[in-house]
Structure 1
Amino acid sequence: MDLSKLPQLEGWIRAGEAFDPRTFLQSTATVGEAAAMSMLFWPEFTEYRNGVFLGFLFERRGVDVWFDELKGDASAVEDVVNHVHLWDVFAPKSEAEYAVLAELAPRIATMWRAALKSAFPTRDFVVSVADASEDYGPTISIRSA
């Protein structure tokens, strides 16, 4: 991932040296921001009506409406509920930020796979990444296999 073109990292990256995120994060990020990002990167899940839902997106009444609309098909409801458009979370402001979000999406998907495997070791899931050409920006979604 080429971070050198990100305006926020200007001055933090030296040519020929590896970027060390610790100093940058200590100077720019709060513990609250780190905690919120950890919830996105390693989410908790809610099991409901034979489905598994991203905890931060789960809202029982809304999910029940989708279960009614989709005739009880838990996997179809998971498809509708369990997706995150990274443009809605991070609001990129430059072409470099758009490019980095496209590279960040598969990394987040890998973390979601690991979180799902940790929480539900006997179940199988599909974690998908759609890029900007397929959806509204880089989008990550999950559903039961």
Structure 2
Amino acid sequence: MKIINSIDSVSSPKYEQWKSQWRDQSELDGLSYISDVVHPEDALMFCKVLFPDFVFHESGVFLESGFTVEAYSSWMKNCNNDVVAVEKLLNHTHLYDVFGGCTDRVDEAVYEQLCRIVAQSWRMVLLSKFPERKFCVQAIISDQEYGPVVTFSQVRE
């Protein structure tokens, strides 16, 4: 038997703390944690991050959340009508902002893992919704950013 992982191994201090309360941990896994702690509505709402809605405007593809024609037009002027540059800017999503209301201390590694998972999901969704187009989806983990960032733009040939 060979196990093929869809995502890298997940490390979660919160999960480890939850797991430590059980005497017999041999059968506990991430699904056990979800069954015990995670509310289905929270999981459903997070799917909007993993599987976002898009706007196709002129020749660009953008995240629907936060997209306005006014912002698009303004950035097109600032970027010399470079649609790819505008896509990168308007689709730039800070994971810290996605969880802006979270007041708990969250390990940076958790945000970094989420960043990579969101990027992987966006790659799949973009391929599904726009099979005739090529995209570059980036998971950016850099000291130059306000936390981990996911963005995407089309690859022009």
In which range does the TM-score fall when normalised by the shorter chain?
A: 0.7 to 0.9
2:71 aligns with: 62
Give yes or no for the alignment of 1:94 onto 2:94.
Answer: no
Find the aligned partners of 1:39 and 1:9 in 2 and give their Cα distance.
27
Which runs of structure 2 are paired with 1:1-145 in the superposition (5 Å)?
A: 1-3=10-12, 5-6=13-14, 10-11=17-18, 14=22, 15-16=25-26, 17-20=28-31, 21-25=34-38, 29=39, 31=41, 33-91=42-100, 93-96=104-107, 98-145=108-155
Structure 1 stretches of 4+ with a deviation exceeding 6 A read none
TM-score, normalised with respect to structure 1: 0.84
Alpha-carbon distance in 2 for matches of 1:43, 1:104:
15
CA contact (8 A) 1:129 1:141 kept: yes
TM-aligned CA deviation for residue 132 of structure 1 = 4.1
**Structure 2 gaps, min length 5:** 1-9
User: Structure 1 unaligned runs (5+)?
Assistant: none
